[in-house]
């Protein structure tokens, strides 16, 4: 059976962030979209084989009311063992639902951070070190129950994680963001979050894409 992906769009302002546009080239045609901030009722999970939770401009430290619906969806997907991956805010939501610890980080990241992979096996086959675009003010500092660490950076202790027994994953970095969009985000960041510019280190690294997005998506869709 071919994969049919449901993208849970957790963005707040489409003028700022349009994750579906960024993920569309990576997922098979015929994917579905659920926007909990705007769509009434929950999605029909039985129509999909895989679940993706996007990033968001919202903060995990003060989540919007609609996040309760997303947390319920995470619990159902976990119980039904539907392959699931969270990106940035979605990663943090999965961690919080599973009993992990999140925070407003004193070391936000913005740019192409170097990541160290702690697990090089299936399904993602990440290289030992890789660069990926990251932009976040919050992060996960303690793994949720039954999860193991997949990758970290010097400023982000849980940059990627996976469940030990189920097909559930979280990544803090934005593997869907290409170089052009990443540059645009970095240029817009001072206007959107001026108070965090000094800590976010926008000089992180020269734009560098090591191509982990295609590997992650390919491995995820094989589950």
Q: Choosing from 50, 91, 115, 174, which is the catalytic residue?
A: 174
Q: Choosing from 22, 109, 115, 176, which is the catalytic residue?
A: 176
Q: How far apart (Å, rounded) are the C-alpha atoms in residues 33 and 201?
A: 33
Cα 204–chain centre separation: 19
The sign of the torsion formed by the CA atoms of 52, 176, 160, 70 equals: negative
Neighbours of 58 (CB within 10 A): 19
Q: Is 29 a catalytic residue?
A: no
* Residues 6+ away with beta carbon under 8 Å from 102: 60, 61, 92, 95, 96, 138, 139, 140, 141
CB-count burial class (<10 Å; 0-12, 13-18, 19+) for 32: middle
Q: Is 174 a catalytic residue?
A: yes
Q: Choosing from 22, 67, 88, 131, which is the catalytic residue?
A: 88
The residues annotated with a catalytic role in the active site are 88, 174, 176
């Amino acid at each position: 059976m071919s994969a049919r992906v449901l993208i849970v769009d957790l963005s707040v302002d489409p003028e700022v962030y349009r994750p579906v546009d960024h993920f569309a080239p990576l997922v098979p045609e015929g994917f579905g979209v659920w926007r909990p901030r705007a769509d009434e009722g929950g999605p029909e999970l039985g129509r999909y084989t895989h679940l993706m939770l996007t990033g968001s401009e919202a903060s995990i430290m003060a989540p919007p009311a609609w996040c309760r619906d997303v947390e319920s969806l995470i619990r159902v997907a976990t119980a039904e063992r539907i392959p699931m991956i969270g990106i940035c805010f979605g990663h943090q939501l999965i961690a919080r639902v599973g009993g992990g610890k999140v925070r407003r980080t004193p070391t936000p990241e913005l740019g192409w951070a170097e990541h160290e992979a702690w697990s090089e096996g299936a399904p993602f086959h990440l290289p030992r070190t890789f660069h990926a675009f990251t932009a976040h003010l919050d992060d996960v500092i303690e793994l949720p129950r039954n999860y193991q660490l997949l990758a970290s950076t010097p400023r982000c202790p849980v940059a990627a994680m996976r469940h030990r027994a189920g097909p559930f994953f979280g990544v803090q970095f934005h593997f869907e963001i290409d170089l052009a969009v990443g540059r645009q985000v970095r240029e817009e960041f001072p206007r959107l979050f001026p108070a965090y510019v000094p800590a976010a280190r926008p000089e992180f690294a020269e734009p560098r894409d090591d191509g982990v997005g295609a590997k992650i998506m390919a491995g995820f869709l094989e589950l």
